[in-house]
Structure 1
Amino acid sequence: MIKIAIVDDHSLFRQSLRFLLEQNEGLKIVAEAENGQEFLDVLAKNNGIPDIAIVDIEMPVMTGIDLNEHLQNLYPGIKVIILTMHYQERIIASLMRNGVVAFLAKNCDKEELFQTIQQVFDHGFYINKYILDILKNAKKLRNDNLKNALAIPVDLSKREQEILILICREFSNQEMANQLFISVRTVEGHRNNLLLKIGCRNTAGLVVFAIKYGIFDIGA
């Protein structure tokens, strides 16, 4: 059972989304809120932590961007899916470097909604074709030198690039160790070094970086 929270300031949309999600027997709605601060208040009551939070960007009191920052610091186990009508490469890349694991358009169909939730739960991130195209078509894509989140040049070793590609292919640490004939501890060390060098919080941020600089094509 995947536990879901919905955070959106439009009551009708929130109620409709809940009704839709509850049609899937594998999903359970454990929290609702109309803004980021209300959701943090709900979490503080300790009534159960969701696996996934589906969050709108534009909300009063506390936006989805600000809420994500609080969740990454206070509840890093909650995977954040942004549900929005506005796609900008800069915002998408920034949010994914800062812990957001997927994006969905508010007019997506239910199959894509369910697929995204399942992929996030199973693999920790999901990049759909629309987001992939935005990242691949960004002006700075493949011609720039590698730079981290602070625009500082990054030098990745051959092994780190191999690890990064396998991360993008959704290999587990054990599978990467078997593939490269190294220990799981060594894989974990490379993964942690990548997170530090690139300046992102999780796997989704690493994947965004790899796509942005042409290290990996998730559609290939």
Structure 2
Amino acid sequence: MSGTGRKVSLLICDDHKVLTDALAMVVERDPELALVAPPVHAPEEAIRLCEEHRPDVVLMDIVFKGPLDGIEATRRIKERSPGTRVVIMTAHDEDRLLVEAVEAGASGFLGKDEAADQVLAAAKAAAEGEVLIDPFTLTRILHQVAREREVRREAQMLLSQLTEREREILQLLAEGMRNDEIAARLFISPQTVQTHIRNTLGKLRVHSKLEAVVFAVKHGAIRI
């Protein structure tokens, strides 16, 4: 039970019905746990139930067949029910997904191959505020964050080399304008526009106008 002596309230969200039914049966036999509703198989339903019942813990898959994934569902659950701990159950171990889940507010991770008693123990631990990340996974997450920080630092260094005119042309390219239209807008020749674009590609180390625009948007250098 939780530190207050009451049962830990739990919601299970996974689109594998065999798994959720098996977990539900085990939960029902545990005197320290209580399901707030039968397992659900769509993240939209989990969000609604969390807003209604505010469970202590949600066991959440990452990948679903619909438009919403478990990471975005986690983010929305934390917005609507901040006290709910979301534990990600997944067979996926991509570093980027792990980082995104943590950024969305997940309290930890469980492999789908974990034994049922380990899953229940993890749910109880999450309810007590424990972070369920093993040292190996934590190291991977921290390394991924460090890599992304270095990518951002390098991107800002490259973008800092652009002149105001080059940024202006990138912005107009992002708005869908052709070289001749940009030339007319800025009262310069198409050849000058092309020169600015060529210089921009070199400074950003990219190979096309589209790649340059995507790079600039991704790193916040221009608006869309």
TM-score interval (norm. to shorter) = 0.5 to 0.7
What's the counterpart of residue 29 of structure 2? 23
Alpha-carbon RMSD: 2.8
What's the counterpart of residue 53 of structure 1? 58
TM-score by length of 2: 0.57
Higher radius of gyration, 1 or 2: 2
Q: Helix, strand or coil: the match of 1:132?
A: helix
Letter in 1 for 2:46: F
Q: 2:114 aligns with which of 105, 108, 111?
A: 108
- Matches for 1:2-151 after TM superposition, within 5 Å: 2-31=8-37, 32-43=39-50, 46=52, 48-61=53-66, 62-132=68-138, 134-135=140-141, 138=143, 147=149, 151=152
- Aligned equivalents of 1:87, 1:81: Cα separation in 2: 14
User: Deviation at 1:101?
Assistant: 0.4
- Aligned equivalents of 2:17, 2:75: Cα separation in 1: 24
User: Deviation at 1:140?
Assistant: 6.8
Per-residue CA deviation, residues 39-66 of structure 1 (Å, 9 max, x unaligned), is 233345x3x2210000111112322112
- Aligned equivalents of 2:13, 2:106: Cα separation in 1: 14
Per-residue CA deviation, residues 94-128 of structure 1 (Å, 9 max, x unaligned), is 21122000100000123432332222111242212
1:79–1:124 CA contact under 8 A, matched in 2: no
- Aligned equivalents of 1:75, 1:140: Cα separation in 2: 26
Q: Helix, strand or coil: the match of 1:135?
A: helix
- Aligned equivalents of 1:33, 1:81: Cα separation in 2: 15
Unpaired segments ≥5 residues, structure 2: 1-6, 154-224
- Aligned equivalents of 2:144, 2:119: Cα separation in 1: 29
Highest RCO, 1 vs 2 (Cα 8 Å, sep ≥ 6): 1
Q: Helix, strand or coil: the match of 2:107?
A: strand
Q: Cα–Cα, structure 1 residues 140 and 40, in superposed 2: closer, same or farther, change >3 Å?
A: closer
Per-residue CA deviation, residues 152-187 of structure 1 (Å, 9 max, x unaligned), is 7xxxxxxxxxxxxxxxxxxxxxxxxxxxxxxxxxxx
TM-score by length of 1: 0.58
Q: Helix, strand or coil: the match of 1:104?
A: strand
Unpaired segments ≥5 residues, structure 1: 153-220
The list of structure 1 runs, each at least 4 consecutive aligned residues, that deviate by more than 4 angstroms after superposition, is none
Q: Cα–Cα, structure 1 residues 79 and 151, in superposed 2: closer, same or farther, change >3 Å?
A: farther
Letter in 2 for 1:76: P
What's the counterpart of residue 175 of structure 2? none
Q: Cα–Cα, structure 1 residues 26 and 135, in superposed 2: closer, same or farther, change >3 Å?
A: same
Q: Cα–Cα, structure 1 residues 103 and 140, in superposed 2: closer, same or farther, change >3 Å?
A: closer
- Aligned equivalents of 1:114, 1:130: Cα separation in 2: 21
User: Deviation at 1:131?
Assistant: 2.0
Q: Cα–Cα, structure 1 residues 92 and 13, in superposed 2: closer, same or farther, change >3 Å?
A: same
User: Deviation at 1:38?
Assistant: 1.7
- Aligned equivalents of 2:14, 2:145: Cα separation in 1: 32
- Aligned equivalents of 1:104, 1:133: Cα separation in 2: 16
Total equivalences in the alignment: 146
2:8–2:34 CA contact under 8 A, matched in 1: yes
